[in-house]
Amino acid sequence: EFTKGLTSPMKWLTLCLLLSAVAFCCAADKPPCTEFTKNDNTYQVTDQASCRAACCNAEGMCGGAGEIGDWNGVTPNGMCNCKQGGTNRDLCVDPGYSAAASRAPLFGVVSVVALLQIFAFMRN
């Protein structure tokens, strides 16, 4: 067994570190926003306006009721999400955004759990 011989807090630490690595390193399955291509057209998605334009031209979501392109992040690390009614579609995600921004909260939570386990072990 992988964790055989490790104390309980060490098992927690090992598990938390593995989960952190997976959460932090996994790449998004969407293209970078500066290289988004659909139907032989390339879009430079870098802000709210270009995100809305790409959602309209590439996805047909052109600003009707409840339709919008939603840009999150700061160029060159952002994400464009097209929304239509109750449907959300991630159009593109820059590599820096997915690693630094969207995975950071999970990395933080896992790190806190690991630290709490270590402190609990040290108190006993």
H or E stretch covering 60: none
10 Å CB burial of residue 40 (0-12, 13-18, 19+) is exposed
Query: Is the four-CA dihedral 44, 46, 50, 51 of positive or negative sign?
Result: positive
Specify the amino acid at residue 59: E
The mean pLDDT of 31-52, rounded to a whole number, is 90
Q: What was the pLDDT predicted at 51?
A: 92
Altogether, the residues listed in the chain come to a count of 124
For residue 40, give Cα distances in angstroms to 9, 51, 56, 89, 103.
53, 17, 15, 19, 31
Say whether pTM exceeds 0.85: no
Express each pLDDT in 77-103 by its tens digit.
899 999 887 778 889 998 888 544 444
Express each pLDDT in 7-26 by its tens digit.
666 666 666 566 555 444 44
